[in-house]
Chains A and B, each alone.
Chain A
């Protein structure tokens, strides 16, 4: 026989204002199986929880119903208290008489009757609750970090410094990401490479970090604590173990005029190349599309000059499988292209800016390469068309960003600051030049950010014009910028030598495909979604997968690094235990009824349903049934709703419990 304790919370006045809590307690006390019933001002408070614990012992309660707010907030609180009182936590249920009753009704009499019904239903349900033991799954204490930009590097270093193995996978031939491309960084103007490259070297030298560059994620299987990840190591055509990084191959390669993506295609590289001198690993890659050997079967100069014999034209893509317990996704960002709209893309491009066909209209990242000491111009600001030093330069902000009509409604967050930085770098390098900035409004929240922006105007002579540009066109060797100054209310026309566009920050191409492999959700722009916008900002809704950096949304470097360390902390929390405890609200298959149609498997969003063979003692196959892996099951109940023979049930939400609730009405 059940001895149920029912606790009616006033929630201050939130509930008791519209619900006669004393009457509810008195009515519920009459229900069969209820051994104790009371009301209390704040059940979630310390004295409220103590009342719960004490009553369990004093009245030898077997089940508990707390009638209060939505279980979303306090179910955990009360289950913990019930556990402390000596019961299995899953013998406690909450009846929501706040959101479902007091907040949405005005009439006290009716609200009270409804509250009695709600509590009565939960009393019937809790009678059928079973003791659910916690599910434990083993944890593989190795982490996978996807993306080797500053986010991935920071996360990998933090996890590895804690003594756990890290697999770092990077799509490009070198780690470093976009930060390695930057010249100087706001708001201190320290050299990006100078602060970045030591971290890259730390990664390469860390005994706990295994680095896979020029590699991509092929397949992700498993679940929190137990992922199996297949990584495709693309053929580098250079043996990483033999290569010493001397660079002779690159000096001898006859293909010297290939645009270098790292230099935003304004610098040139050879067919066998490292993207930039400080690359980690310092092992070249052969770009097979442009290599003479791969195109014609002749040449092979690099192979001939390579002392250690590292060049290997026969190398093929390899698949390797790694077992990891946690995954940090840090795939970073890309920039909006003003070029013509790609097919099927929400991006509209900028026809009024010449769709990217005016050579001296460049994006912010290209300006970074021009300003970088290791860039294609050696740090001189020279325009791409004729190599002249621009004396009038126009920066235009919010290109793509905050422009719903161009396909993006969000703010890219970093452009105001980097444009301010660009005007300074320009002023430092071209003393007789003039920088103009067209802007909507300056967004500079951040430590020392606003001071930095003001400095660009007050000390570095940048002219800020509030207004947008309607058209850009080539006139002789000038680019004419037609815009408006809305502060003064006049049309502005500037004949510029070069124009720099602060194009929007977007997720990497293929971010959606990676998300599908990982089973994580993403928004309409393909930025990855966190589990909770405020309280779980670095975790994915999929357990065991964490986010770092701009793959989640536009971020500057300090934010990215903070988030990377936060993600690393989450991974370390997971790795601090040998076994992982999971909430036992999982689906279970009643094998006797299952006919193996696997409708459940088809609808399972978590990939938790497996096929299980049932054999007799002689080993003859009796039938194949569904099996729900409790480590993977997310407890959503879709399988339960789908099963035609009702042979899958979600613990804590069984058909018996639901029917009992309905019948209590």
Chain B
């Protein structure tokens, strides 16, 4: 399929709305800080900032380079955010799903947050320069499968009309189908090769909003659950632990995949787990807070086919 440009004209308006609203809530004392995006040093690049004053709030913006899931800055594992007072945060739909998950897991309280939802046409893939225009070839694969372009349940959503979405290949769905068609041995060989690349930098862990444990079990040494050196057994163990811990929780922000320096297709694994959860428990993360995820509850309608 030839690459087609994706309409991002609304992002300029959205940036203005975000600035105005952030200035308002900061000035009126409704929040003590707004977590958002500002222009980075590289041309077209964007970086997360924590705006506590009008000067920094004036720098807030949104563009196709606003890839980061900012929800991660609110978790306990991250210490940058002031601990007292209400926090404003800018969220794409995928980020909002993660934030809602954090509320469900008692990590955040809705009343402590001011949510600024972003109508989003998509962001850039991690492999392209941030100054690139958004197109079906340069968009992040997760955006092609996104069902959350317009966040709901937020305190503020810029009033702009989303341009219609363009149809394109669903890269994850295609890749999952390809892997599912393989024999278990071939599949194992594929993942073994992928995991062998891992250097155990744990960037995937640091960027994931759901990795909020202050002490990761993979860092424990009494007993040592997961081998810490980047050797095949420990690598595989780590990635299986990660996939299992995210099952029924991961909302697909694909930050793990973006930050992986070794290009391990981490979100592919997450999407496969999400697909299983959907098939087994008809569960998908959404914008509603769930008290009990699918793996923490039991009903007599749950799949029993594993009991032979």
Considering the complex, give the chain A residue whose CB is closest to the CB of B211.
A644
B94-131: CB near A (< 8 Å → 1, else 0) gives 00000000000111000000000000000000000000
Partner of B217, one of A596, A645, A656, A660: A645
Q: Which residues of A (625-645) have their CB < 8 Å from a CB of B?
A: 642, 644-645
A598 and B292 CA atoms in complex are apart in Å by: 10
Contact B107 A597, beta carbon cutoff 8 Å:
yes
Contacts of A597 in B (CB 8 A): 105-107, 212
Is the pair B76, A656 in contact by a Cβ cutoff of 8 Å?
no
- For A593, A598, A602, A642, which residue has the most chain B Cβ atoms within 10 angstroms? A602
For A172, what are the chain B residues with a Cβ–Cβ distance below 8 Å?
Answer: none
Residues of chain A from 589 to 612 with CB closer than 8 A to chain B in the complex: 592-593, 595-599, 602-603
A189 interface residue per 8 A CB criterion: no
- What separation, in Å, do the CA atoms of A646 and B291 have in the docked complex? 21
Chain A nearest Cβ from B240, distance in angstroms: 14
Is A655 in contact with chain B by the CB < 8 A criterion?
yes
Instruction: Indicate the member of A592, A596, A597, A642 with the most B CB atoms within 10 Å.
Output: A597
Which residues of chain A come closer than 8 Å to B107, judged between CB atoms?
595-597
| Contacts known (A597-B106, A602-B291, A602-B297); A644 close to B217, Cβ less than 8 A | yes
| Chain A residues within an 8 Å CB radius of B224 | 659
User: Which residues from A are CB-within-8-Å of B106?
Assistant: 596-598, 624
With A598-B105, A603-B296 already in contact, the answer to whether A656 and B212 are too (CB < 8 A) is no
B223 cross-chain contacts in A, Cβ below 8 A: 655-656, 659-660
Q: Which of B76, B245, B297 contacts A644 (CB 8 A)?
A: B245
Q: How far is B296's CA from A327's CA once the two chains are assembled, in angstroms?
A: 29
Report the minimum CB–CB distance from A334 to chain B (whole Å). Answer: 23
Do A646 and B225 have beta carbons less than 8 Å apart? yes
Q: Which of A592, A642, A656 contacts B215 (CB 8 A)?
A: A592
Interface flag for B301 (CB, 8 Å): no
Q: What chain B residues lie within 8 Å of A624 (beta carbons)?
A: 106
Partner of A646 from the list B105, B217, B292, B296 (CB cut-off 8 Å) is B217
Q: Is the CB of B296 within 8 A of A595?
A: no
User: What's the nearest-Cβ distance from chain B to residue A637, in Å?
Assistant: 15
Which A-chain residue is minimally distant from B213 (CB atoms)? A645
A-B contact count (CB 8 A): 48
Instruction: Say how far B128's CB is from chain A's closest CB, in angstroms.
Output: 34
Question: Nearest chain B CB to A116's CB is how many angstroms away?
Answer: 23
Question: A642 and B296: CB pair below 8 A?
Answer: yes
Complex CA distance for A380 and B158, rounded to whole angstroms = 82
* Residue on A nearest B298 in the bound complex, by CB: A603
Contact status A599-B215, CB under 8 Å: no
- Interface readout for B201-224 with A: 1 if CB under 8 Å, 0 if not? 000000000001111110010111
What's the minimum C-beta distance from B71 to chain A, rounded to whole angstroms? 15
Which listed residue (A593, A602, A647, A660) contacts B296, Cβ 8 A?
Answer: A602
A624–B108 Cα distance when bound, in Å, is: 12
Whole-angstrom distance between the Cβ of B272 and the nearest chain A Cβ? 20
Q: Nearest residue in B to A611 (C-beta to C-beta)? A: B106
Contact A595 B292 (CB under 8 A): no
Contact of A595 among B76, B225, B293, B297 (CB under 8 A): B76
- B105 surroundings in chain A (CB, below 8 A): 597-599
Q: Which residue of A lies closest to B75 (CB)?
A: A595
Cα of A596 to Cα of B76 in the assembled complex, Å: 10
**Taking the nearest CB of chain B, how far is it from the CB of A642, in angstroms?**
7
Collect the chain B residues with CB atoms within 8 Å of residue A593's CB.
Answer: 213-215
Contacts A623-B76, A655-B223, A659-B225 aside, 18 further interface pairs with beta carbons under 8 A come to: A593-B213, A593-B214, A595-B107, A595-B213, A596-B106, A597-B105, A597-B106, A598-B105, A598-B106, A599-B105, A599-B296, A602-B292, A602-B293, A602-B296, A644-B245, A646-B225, A655-B225, A659-B223
Question: Which 9 pairs between the two chains have the least Cβ-Cβ distance?
Answer: A659-B223, A645-B213, A602-B296, A646-B217, A593-B215, A597-B105, A656-B223, A598-B106, A602-B292
Listed A/B pairs (10) with beta-carbon separation below 8 Å: A595-B214, A597-B105, A597-B106, A598-B105, A599-B296, A642-B296, A646-B225, A655-B223, A659-B223, A660-B223
